[in-house]
Structure 1
Amino acid sequence: MPPRSPNCNPHAERFIRSIREECANRLLIFDRGHAEKLLHQYTRHFNSHRPHQSRNQLAPLDDPNVIPLPTARIERRPAVAGLINEYHRAG
Structure 2
Amino acid sequence: MNAIIERWVGSVRRELLDLILIMNERRLRRVLAEYETHFNRHRPHRALKQASPLRALPDPVDADIEVSQRDCLGGLLHEYAQVA
Q: Where in structure 1 do 4 or more consecutive aligned residues deviate above 2 Å?
A: 68-72
Which secondary structure does the structure 2 equivalent of 1:23 belong to? helix
Instruction: Look up the match of 1:67.
Output: 59
* TM-score scaled by length of structure 1: 0.81
Pick the aligned partner of 2:78 from 52, 74, 85.
85
1:52 to 2:27 alignment: no
In 1, the alpha carbon distance for the partners of 2:73 and 2:30 equals 9
User: Which residues of structure 2 form unaligned runs of 5+?
Assistant: none
1:14 to 2:20 alignment: no
User: 1:47 touches 1:59 (CA, 8 Å); kept in 2?
Assistant: yes
User: Which residues of structure 1 form unaligned runs of 5+?
Assistant: 1-7
Paired AA for residue 75 in structure 2: G
* Larger mean Cα displacement after TM superposition, 66-75 or 13-22: 66-75
* CA drift at 1:68: 4.7
In 2, the alpha carbon distance for the partners of 1:10 and 1:89 equals 33
User: 1:38 touches 1:81 (CA, 8 Å); kept in 2?
Assistant: no
Over the matched positions of the two proteins, sequence identity in percent amounts to: 31
Which secondary structure does the structure 2 equivalent of 1:76 belong to? strand
Deviation string 1:32-83 (CA, Å, 9 cap, x unpaired) is: 010000000000000000000110111001235x525456311110012320
